[in-house]
Structure 1
Amino acid sequence: MIETLLNKPYWVIDFLPEQVPDGSAGQFFAVEEYYLREPALSTLRRRFTDILLKLNCYYDFQVCAADSEEFVRNPAPDILASRILDTQENLCILLPREDALITLDRDDTCMTVYNPSETLLNRLRLLATAEGLFLWQP
């Protein structure tokens, strides 16, 4: 099921409002590296955590490490937060009734949302905005 969803249209929740064009004169890689180090990494991960915890109020979640298919259904908020903040594993969050998937890789500054419905996109847009993040489609 995950493999199928990974081939669907996707959106990203990111600290930038749109993709940086190739050949940009800016310092994208230096800025990205900054966000992948502490303390900026913890701040970004906390924002992702807040989005996902709030989203779990609306949707059933099934969570697993990306290299596993052992899902945990609706993990306790403190356990889900711990897994997101830990940054040692890549996570997959399946929303079965929406037929959608959210991935969070330890080496990324964004979350990726595959196959979102309009309702899910609208909720994510509101939650991302509240956290100072952006939702866009590459």
Structure 2
Amino acid sequence: MVQSIYEYKVKWGDTDAAGIVFYPNFYKWMDQATGDLFYSLRYPLSKLFAEQKIGLPLLETYCEFKSPAFFEDSIHIMTNIVDVRDKVIKLTHEFFRGETLLASGYEVRAWTSFGQGKAKADSIPDEVRAALEKEAYR
């Protein structure tokens, strides 16, 4: 399976007074890594929403913390698409500082149309599904 890798350098504002990353930032970085993955597949989330009113809201998310991250750490997030269903995508994320696993988690997202003034889960289009499945099952 091919992985998408998102790089991030921890900023002071990501940390608490002790310089340790505040846990909600891991969820923010999952979101950023997902956006980066879709961009690399040539389906930028901003363009999907602007042109088609499609978004990928979260249905479920989870993160298990193994080791703290600190101010100015360079971390990389390895993201995998592990499941593609009719309307739902599951992605996993692993956070590393060098070889050290800091955290691991997942997101479940729905392919959602925001047209007609109402959010509605829709089937993932065939061409998008093909790109996601190619990434997921390489």
User: Higher relative contact order by CA 8 Å / sep ≥ 6: 1 or 2?
Assistant: 1
TM-score grouping bracket, smaller chain normalisation: under 0.3
Normalization by structure 2: what TM-score? 0.25
Normalization by structure 1: what TM-score? 0.25
Structure in which a larger fraction of residues adopt helix: 1
